[in-house]
Structure 1
Amino acid sequence: MTAPSLTIDVVSDVMCPWCYIGKRRLEDALAEVRNEFDVEVRWRPYQLDPTLPKEGKDRKQYLEDKFGGATGAEQAYATVRAAGEEEEIPFAFDKIKVSANTLDAHRLIRWAGSLGLPAQHQMVELLFKAYFEDGKSLGDDAVLIEAAEQVGLETPVVERLLSGDADRDTVAAEIDQARQMGVTGVPCFIIDMQYAVVGAQSAEALADAMRKIVASRGKEAAGNDNG
């Protein structure tokens, strides 16, 4: 008997620490259900702040402006640090100098997908690590090209694509589509394009949502057979 299969579209922004935490929890959930059904994970773009310039803004000032001062910013990130420790993510927020526009990073994730979903997954991981653990700017072409090389994309091709507008409109349209679908916060896990789990929910919650979708399919099939 063939195992049931699911798709999960992860709407995410690589400058969002909760998305990094959500990625870890999703991986734990996938490990939990791996003997029950097959899951195909696709990464979809989102921008928390599309107004940021490519070269970025001073991150300390940016967060203080966003959270109403240094105390507000520290309080907001205390929860993130605690959740990161639980997932064994060594957040190094002090290393991050700038918050940059992530559109080019999302273009890179899209191109990595041309090599297959495992390469796309690896690209997302590399960008999260570069930003949150190494403090690198996601708007720096050198950082993006280094990640591209690690997943097997050809450097001259990536350099040429980054210097132009390839897929810029496509990625922007995907972000708009997510907003039109009602996505206002990330991460958002859309299971089988019908059931959304919003926020960095626990691995148990994600696994439970997957099981519910598979179970509901079984009920529908039984209902159709009886009809």
Structure 2
Amino acid sequence: MADSSNGKKVIEIDVSSDTVCPWCFVGKTNLDKAIEKSKDSFDFKVRWHPYFLNPSAPKEGVKKSDFFGQRFGAAQFDQMQSRMSQIFKGLGYDYDTAGLTGNSLDCHRLLTYAAKQGYEKQHALAGELFINYHVEGKYIGDKQVLLDAANKVGIEGAEELLNDPEKGVAEVNEELEKYSSRISGVPHFTINGKFEISGEPPEVFQRAFKAAV
């Protein structure tokens, strides 16, 4: 267990996630609340790793209602949307159901690249992309949306990365194999390599922090 320069114990958190997953956004929101409540006791290093809920999703955007309605059926899709809308409202957000969805590879390329410039920037980028997709109805396969998010959190070199569709793909695949190949769903949080939890309330994260040191 490492100590930071201020003497606090460092909690290392590995997160497997997909930007198009609403539960991953809920999980990040609860994680952030737990970190805020625990920051006087611990320092945190959060690392984001890729996972594909829909690896065969099209690169070009399609309506969420069309894509998920076809995948789950209209009735189940409506139930899912209603439930997520209530959950998001409880977090202080409006859940977008009218935007586009599609392949999240470019998101994962950008997030994996961002880690090289600092995990705090990567964490901020993950949050920005979640808001873009789940709240603002922006399509995360749109290069300009990704560039705007990268610029907002201070990621350099994003345009060069996104202009080359092959750049960063090998790194994403390496991350998939190392961190996400043995799991079957997201979000998935590993706390100090000891405790594995999914989307839980903030107090569950807080208990895991204390138990992991």
TM-score, normalised to structure 1, is: 0.85
Aligned with 1:53 (options 18, 38, 58): 58
| Counterpart position of 1:18 | 23
Distance 1:179 1:47 in 2: 9
Structure 1 contact 112–151 (Cα < 8 Å) conserved = no
Which amino acid is 2:44 matched to? Answer: V
Structure 2 contact 50–180 (Cα < 8 Å) conserved = no
| Counterpart position of 1:112 | 114
Distance 1:38 1:82 in 2: 32
Structure 1 gap ranges (5+)? 215-227
TM-superposed CA distance for 1:2, in Å, is: 2.2
TM-superposed CA distance for 1:115, in Å, is: 2.4
TM-superposed CA distance for 1:172, in Å, is: 2.1
SS of 2:186's partner is: coil
Higher helix share: 1
TM-superposed CA distance for 1:13, in Å, is: 0.7
Structure 1 contact 25–87 (Cα < 8 Å) conserved = no
Which amino acid is 1:210 matched to? Answer: F
What are the equivalent positions in structure 2 for 1:20-169 lying under 5 Å apart? 20-67=25-72, 69-94=73-98, 96=99, 98-154=100-156, 157-164=157-164, 165-169=166-170
Which amino acid is 1:105 matched to? Answer: C
| Counterpart position of 1:211 | 210
TM-superposed CA distance for 1:8, in Å, is: 0.3
SS of 2:48's partner is: strand
TM-superposed CA distance for 1:163, in Å, is: 2.3
Distance 1:166 1:71 in 2: 40
Structure 2 gap ranges (5+)? 1-5
RMSD between superposed Cα atoms in Å = 1.6
SS of 2:103's partner is: coil
| Counterpart position of 1:221 | none
Distance 1:57 1:176 in 2: 28
TM-superposed CA distance for 1:190, in Å, is: 0.6
Which amino acid is 1:112 matched to? Answer: A
Which amino acid is 1:206 matched to? Answer: F
TM-superposed CA distance for 1:167, in Å, is: 1.3
| Counterpart position of 2:3 | none
Which amino acid is 2:163 matched to? Answer: S
| Counterpart position of 1:177 | 178
Distance 2:190 2:174 in 1: 18
- Structure 1 stretch displaced more, 13-22 or 30-39: 30-39
SS of 1:44's partner is: strand
Larger radius of gyration: 1
Distance 2:85 2:172 in 1: 30
Distance 1:170 1:16 in 2: 21
Structure 2 contact 81–97 (Cα < 8 Å) conserved = no
